[in-house]
Amino acid sequence: MNCTKSRLQSLRAPHVFGRLVTPNSSLKELSGSKTIDKFDPLTVIGKAPKPRQATLPHELATKIGEISWQWTPQELRQRVAAIYASLKEGTPHKATSDHLDVSANITGLFLQNYISLKTCLAEVHKRLTTSSDKKIKFQPKSVLDVGFGPGTGILVARELWPEIEYEKAVIYGDREMKKEAKRIIDNSEKVVFVDELPSDTSPQTFDLIICQHQLYTKGENPENKIAILSKKLGQLLNPGGVLLFAERGDPLGFESIASARRALLLSNINDSDSPVESSNEQTNHQSKKNNETPGDNETVNTSIPLNNSDSSTNSNVNTVFKSVAPCNHDKPCPLSVGLSQRLSAKNPGKFNWCTFDQNIKRPKYTLELKRGQYLSQKWVPGMQQGTGGSVIKGNGRTGSNNYEIANFSWVSMQKELQSSSQEASLSSKWPRIMKDPMNRHNHATMEVCTDGKIQHWTVPKSQGKQCYHDIRRAQAMDLWPFDAKTKQDRGGVPEKFRLQ
């Protein structure tokens, strides 16, 4: 495919973290280039809305920092260090057990959880709103956040879709987490906080469901537990809605994500057989919606179907799940070997896995939290060399940084009517760049996921000046709209180990 800048000049400008990018906008944080007009229009469409370094909003950082004032630095750091050690050993995320545990979880984990979700949802926002004909539109009116608190998904969804009308947060763990969530979330009186998912007989459905750190589990047959939760959340989703899973970016978190994706793709949900959306319940739900007001723990769903059709459209129809991002296909994952096999292996990372990362600037409260003997090493005089070989003396942290890297695995699935003839977006089948391209002399190489296969592509300088310019400034999670001169099938799991 030739790279010419004359094509698609009239395409709608993409969004970066909810901010419209115009042809004169700076892309410093996005690609390292000065202006967007140096990129081919197709490359701009394929770029992930992922800044070089993400930051936590100042207002949020201030609220999170105030939580640490309730405890002495030593006891808070000890509890946070214990949480980090547990996660490093491969233990699944756990619900909070007491007030100190709530504070430690928020101050220690919120930063990466928030930025990870923001990166994922920003990509979903772009893929479902950017098209040449502007027919593809995803505007959720209701959102369900499922996790250990403090309603992180609600905060991110509000930023990307301010028009959301109904919000519900399922928070597992100590009740103090709900109190902190109400303090952190603005206008929290509009959010319904509950302890568990809606029952199978509940008429509630949602346009957007966010589930973070709920899939990965140990024990017997973990895939079955993941499939049950995935299908349960799938039943709570409106046709046209999006279900997003996010987990840690290690092999076990990835396999949990792959298991959930597999379970949804293998099951075509029949809404007429589902207890969540039976015909009678849908009728009763529509008749009660205008007469009941939400209570403290229960409410009637006020979501509006995305297609603005009547209630009969959402019942007695067959629906299927399709991948939105980062997967660009609905075939079996070429990197999945099964969570049970990863758990039983001596080295879960023996085979490749799908993971992405985001550089995060540490706010003040994180810098203060990670300073001390429990969360960092002391600066040993004589160990650090300055310019010219001079020894740096003083007190502080060895090799300290004001940033950290969030690693995460994720998938987003859209529930569509089986009879839907909705046109696919322009970028829906483009290869996904898995790792940052490696720049070499007169060529660049990259690992991509395309049509259910992991391949290594080589783009030489001879392929075109524009293509060569764009590939050298691409990054992981971007979509690549052009071809490559050479392609090799390598990097995926061997066929005999792959889970179909």
For 453-479, write each residue's pLDDT tens digit.
Answer: 999 999 999 988 999 999 999 999 999
Higher pLDDT, 318 or 434: 434
Higher pLDDT, 323 or 188: 323
Q: What is the pLDDT of residue 271?
A: 40
The per-type count for the chain, helices as H runs and strands as E runs, is: 13, 17
405/142 Cα distance (integer angstroms): 31
The pair of structure tokens assigned to 329 is 């296909």
Q: Which of 193-207, 298-312, 347-361, 471-485 has the lowest mean pLDDT?
A: 298-312
415/138 Cα distance (integer angstroms): 12
CA distances from 454 to 273, 330, 333, 335, 482 (A): 37, 14, 9, 8, 16
Q: What is the pLDDT of residue 194?
A: 92
Could you report the per-residue pLDDT of 50-74, keeping only the tens digit for each?
898 999 999 999 999 998 888 888 8
Instruction: Confirm if 243 and 237 have CB atoms less than 8 A apart.
Output: yes
Q: What is the pLDDT of residue 282?
A: 36
- Per-residue pLDDT band for 133 (boundaries 50, 70, 90) equals very low
What rounded mean pLDDT belongs to the chain?
78
Task: Tell me whether strands 356-361 and 403-417 are parallel, antiparallel or unpaired.
Answer: antiparallel
Q: What is the pLDDT of residue 420?
A: 59
Instruction: Confirm if 151 and 185 have CB atoms less than 8 A apart.
Output: yes
Q: What does residue 476 show for φ and ψ, rounded to 5 degrees?
A: -55, 145
Is the pLDDT assigned to residue 261 strictly greater than 60? yes
DSSP state of 490: -
Is the pLDDT assigned to residue 20 strictly greater than 50? no
Could you report the per-residue pLDDT of 81-110, keeping only the tens digit for each?
889 989 988 899 999 999 999 999 999 999
Is the pLDDT assigned to residue 158 strictly greater than 60? yes
| Residue 138 amino acid letter | F
Higher pLDDT, 132 or 167: 167
- Per-residue pLDDT band for 206 (boundaries 50, 70, 90) equals very high
Higher pLDDT, 270 or 138: 138
Q: Residue 432: beta bridge partners?
A: 449, 479
Is the pLDDT assigned to residue 306 strictly greater than 70? no
Instruction: Confirm if 216 and 92 have CB atoms less than 8 A apart.
Output: yes
Q: What does residue 175 show for φ and ψ, rounded to 5 degrees?
A: -65, -20
The pair of structure tokens assigned to 38 is 């140096």
- Per-residue pLDDT band for 445 (boundaries 50, 70, 90) equals very high
Instruction: Confirm if 9 and 132 have CB atoms less than 8 A apart.
Output: no
Q: Taken in order 381, 384, 388, 393, is the CA torsion positive or negative?
A: negative
Q: What is the pLDDT of residue 135?
A: 53
Q: Mean of the pLDDT values across residues 278-295?
A: 37
Q: Mean of the pLDDT values across residues 221-228?
A: 90
Q: Using a pLDDT cut of 90, give the percent of the chain over it.
A: 44
Is the pLDDT assigned to residue 16 strictly greater than 70? no
Cβ count near 91 (within 10 Å): 12
Q: Mean of the pLDDT values across residues 264-289?
A: 47
CA distances from 222 to 113, 214, 228, 306 (A): 23, 12, 10, 34
Q: Mean of the pLDDT values across residues 269-281?
A: 40
Q: Residue 429: beta bridge partners?
A: none
Q: Mean of the pLDDT values across residues 255-270?
A: 83
Q: What is the pLDDT of residue 416?
A: 84
Instruction: Confirm if 148 and 215 have CB atoms less than 8 A apart.
Output: no
- Per-residue pLDDT band for 160 (boundaries 50, 70, 90) equals very high
Q: Mean of the pLDDT values across residues 275-281?
A: 38
Which of 228-242, 273-287, 377-391 is predicted most confidently? 228-242
Q: Which residue has the tokens 């220690």?
A: 108
120/406 Cα distance (integer angstroms): 12
Higher pLDDT, 312 or 250: 250
